[in-house]
Amino acid sequence: MQIKIIKLIQTAPFLILMIVLINTMIFKYVNNYAIENKYLISAILLIFNAILYFYNFKFGILITSGLLLFGIFNILNFFISLETEKYSLRFIFKISTPAYDPRLLLIFIFSLIVNFRVHSPTFARHQLTNSPIH
């Protein structure tokens, strides 16, 4: 029972993405908005990711993180509205960050925290030991 709860928590970022994308598609369909290609590609990749979870769970988690990274930098869309942030500094010349979606960044950080052992197996093996990391 405990293993099923842990796996459910590990798949939470994927489930959040699925719920958000289904909500977006329903909203766009009901209100007669055109569904852009980014949403269709996102849906196809999430379906592929869902199938992948059944064959290789850890690889599915890594693919979910990759989809989140593409979403953060607006290559894929999941939400109804596109909200981006961009910060810049001006000293001698202007330095700015690329535009990113803060909602997906929060989901990605949550994914990294929940799936720490999958994302960094080297640190997970040597987490409580004093042996050097190779």
Q: Taking the alpha carbons of 55, 56, 61, 62 in that order, is the dihedral positive or negative?
A: negative
Q: Do the Cβ atoms of 79 and 102 come closer than 8 Å?
A: no
pTM: 0.81
pLDDT for 3 equals 77
pLDDT for 33 equals 86
Q: What residue spans define the domains of the chain? A: 2-121
Give average pLDDT by consecutive 10-residue segment, the chain, 134 residues: 83 94 92 89 95 91 93 90 77 78 93 84 54 52
What are the b/e assignments for 10-43, b being 16+ CB within 10 Å?
Answer: bbebbebbbebbeebbeeeeeeeeeeeebbeebb
Q: How far apart are CA 99 and CA 124, in angstroms?
A: 32
The helix (H) or strand (E) run that includes residue 94 is strand 94-96
pLDDT for 11 equals 92
* The one-letter amino acid at 22: I
**β-sheet bridge partners, residue 10:** none
Q: Do the Cβ atoms of 104 and 71 come closer than 8 Å?
A: yes
pLDDT for 128 equals 52
Residue 103's closest CA among 48, 37, 41, 23? 23
pLDDT for 60 equals 92
